[in-house]
Amino acid sequence: MKPKATFVSTLALLVLATALACAQQAPAKKKAAAAPAGKHYTLPATKENVQWGWLDVNEKPKLTVNSGDTVSIETWYHALDQLKPKPTDHTIEGPPMDKIAGWRKENDGGGPHSVTGPIYVNGAEPGDTLEIRILKIVPKEYGQNFNLPGKQFPTGLLPKEFPEGFVRYYKFDLAKMTTEFKPGIVLDLKPFPGIVAVGVDPNEPKEKAGPPIKDDKGRTSTLRPWKNGSNMDLNELQAGSTLYVPVFNKGGLIWIGDAHCRQGNGEVNLEAIECAYKEIEIQPIVRKDLKIEWPQAETKDYWIFTGFDEDLAEAMKIAVRNTIDWLSTQKMVPMDRYEAYALASITADCRVTQMVDIRKGVHCMVPKSIFVKHAKMAASKP
C-alpha cells in the first residue's frame, strides 16, 4: 500500500502545481488581452488645421488621441502653402523673391512656418514628458531654399554680405530620395520636421533680441526654439528617432511643421531645403515616470541633449549641462558628475544645430556604443 500512497501523493502534488501555474499565468494573459491596440488617426492640412507662424494654447485642438495612438499628419509649405513650388515644362518654379519678402512682412513677428495642430493627448499633464516617436516621413515632390535680402532683413548668418535675396526650387526623385542642386551636385534627402512643438512654457523668458515673442492676442511666435521644442531645426529627428519634450499644458498640445528635406548643421543662409509632407506619422506616449527640463532626442545610435539661447556659448553650456545631468543619473553605468563631465568631454559630439532662429541651438550627441552592455543588447536584437 505504501507505493500506491506515494503515487497518489505525487499525483496530487503535480495537479496542485499545475493549477498554481495556471493561476499565476491567468492574470498576465488577461492583462495582455485587455490591452487595446492603439488607434490610428489622420490629420490633413487644411485652413482649419494649419496655423501660420504662431502657437496658440487657447486654440481648440484639431484632434484628440490617447497615449500610444498613432497619427499621420500632412504639412503645408510656408505661408499657408503660398510658397508652393510648381512644375513647368523644363524646370520648377515658384513665387519670386518680392512675394516671399512681402509674406514675411505680412506676418511680422510670426514665423514663416505652416504648422499643423494642435493635437491633444489624453492624460498629458504639466510636469509630464511626451515621448514623440517619429515613425515615417513621406515628402511631397518639391522643395525650396532662400535667403531674404540682407539689405531689408537681418536674417541668416551673413545678411550684410548677401544684400540681395536668392531663391531656388527643387524637384525630388522620391524613388531615389535625391534632388539635384545643380548639374554635377546631387543631394540625398534626409527629411525631418524643423518644428515639433508642444504647448508653450508659461515661464518662457522675454525676448533678448528680435521681435516680441508674443503678439497682442497672446500667441507665441514659431521663430524661436525653447523648452517646448518648437523651431529646433534638429536634423537628427528623422524617421526612427524619438523626441522627449516636457509638457507645460494639459493635453500636451502637439504641432508639427517647418518640414525640411535636407539641412546642414547651422542652417546658415536661413533655410534648409524646405518642403512639405504628404505624411509624417508620429506616436505620442505620455511619460509620467520621466521628468526633464529641456528637449532630448534619441536615434538608433545616439542620445541627444539640447540647449537654446541667444548667446551661442550659453546654448552650448545648457546642452552640456543637460548631457552631464543625464550621464550622472543614468543606471547602466553609474557615475558621479565629475566622471560625467569628463565623459562628455571625451565622447559627446556637440554640434551647432542652427544659428538663424534668434535663439541659437546646440545639441550634444552621446554614442550608445560606449555603453558595452547596451551595445551588446542592441546587437542581439533581430
Q: What is the pTM of this model?
A: 0.89
Q: What is the pLDDT of residue 381?
A: 73
In a domain, 146, yes or no: yes
In a domain, 6, yes or no: no
Q: What is the pLDDT of residue 374?
A: 80
CATH number at residue 85: 2.60.120.580
Domain termination site, one of 251, 274, 294: 294
Q: What is the pLDDT along the chain (382 residues), one digit of tens a residue?
A: 444 444 344 444 443 444 433 333 333 333 333 335 699 999 999 999 999 999 999 999 999 999 999 999 999 999 999 999 998 877 899 999 999 999 999 999 999 999 999 999 999 999 999 999 999 999 999 999 999 999 999 999 999 999 999 999 999 999 999 999 999 999 999 999 999 999 999 999 999 999 999 999 999 999 999 999 999 999 999 999 999 999 999 999 999 999 999 999 999 999 999 999 999 999 999 999 999 999 999 999 999 999 999 999 999 999 999 999 999 999 999 999 999 999 999 999 999 999 999 999 999 999 999 999 887 777 777 6
Parent domain of 363: 300-382
In a domain, 149, yes or no: yes
Same domain for 234 and 281: yes
Same domain for 307 and 280: no
Question: 347-366 burial, b for 16+ CB within 10 Å, e for fewer?
Answer: ebebbbbbbbbbbbbbbbbb
Same domain for 145 and 94: yes
Same domain for 145 and 234: yes
Same domain for 278 and 152: yes
Same domain for 340 and 288: no
Same domain for 306 and 288: no
Same domain for 339 and 206: no
Provide the 3-class DSSP secondary structure of residue 78: helix
Domain termination site, one of 235, 263, 294: 294
- Number of domains present in the structure of the chain: 2
C-alpha cell at 120: 491633444
Same domain for 207 and 126: yes
Q: Which of 346, 366, 254, 226 is nearest to 305 (CA)?
A: 366
CATH number at residue 342: 3.10.28.20
Same domain for 337 and 240: no
User: What are the angstrom distances between the C-alpha of 6 and each of 1, 3, 20?
Assistant: 9, 5, 21
Domain termination site, one of 294, 322, 353: 294
Amino acid, res. 211: P
Q: What is the pLDDT of residue 67?
A: 98
Q: What is the pLDDT of residue 57?
A: 97
In a domain, 1, yes or no: no
Q: What is the pLDDT of residue 62?
A: 98
Same domain for 240 and 171: yes
In a domain, 34, yes or no: no
Q: How many CB atoms lie within 10 A of CB 10?
A: 10
